[in-house]
């Protein structure tokens, strides 16, 4: 899909004229025309967030397990022996 960036008039083979204004979507029937291409650009689709692969998911789960084990070790109270007085 292309969007017009500069106003222009396209003269077709039958000598009829089609006017395009900046911001219009270029009809697919005219996308191949060199003059229409010169006055338009590809409309970028919004970036889609890709789902993580199985490998990425398993890596995340492993790192979460490791970090939870580390934090539970850190949180465990340490006992001190009482000194006899």
Q: Give the model confidence (pLDDT) of 18-49 as tens digits.
A: 999 999 999 999 999 999 999 999 988 765 66
Residue 55 lies in a domain: no
Handedness of CA 15, 19, 25, 31 (dihedral sign): positive
When divided into structural domains, the chain yields a total of 1
Residue 8 lies in a domain: yes
Whole-number Å distance between alpha carbons of 32 and 63? 51
Q: Report the candidate in 34, 35, 17, 36 with the shortest Cα–Cα distance to residue 26.
A: 36
Confidence of residue 5 (pLDDT cuts 50, 70, 90): very high
Report the pLDDT value the prediction gives residue 27, as an integer from 0 to 100: 94
Residue 72 has pLDDT above 60, yes or no: no
Structural domain for 16, as ranges = 2-42
In this prediction the pTM is 0.49
Tens-digit pLDDT profile for residues 6-17 = 999 999 899 999
Report the pLDDT value the prediction gives residue 20, as an integer from 0 to 100: 95
């Amino acid at each position: 899909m292309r969007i017009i960036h500069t106003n222009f008039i396209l003269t077709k083979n039958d000598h009829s004229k089609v006017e395009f204004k900046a911001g219009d979507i270029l009809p697919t029937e005219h996308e191949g025309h060199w003059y229409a291409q010169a006055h338009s650009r590809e409309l970028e689709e919004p970036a889609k967030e890709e789902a993580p692969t199985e490998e990425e998911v398993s890596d995340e789960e492993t790192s979460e397990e490791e970090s939870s084990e580390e934090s539970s070790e850190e949180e465990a109270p340490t006992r001190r022996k009482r000194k006899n007085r």
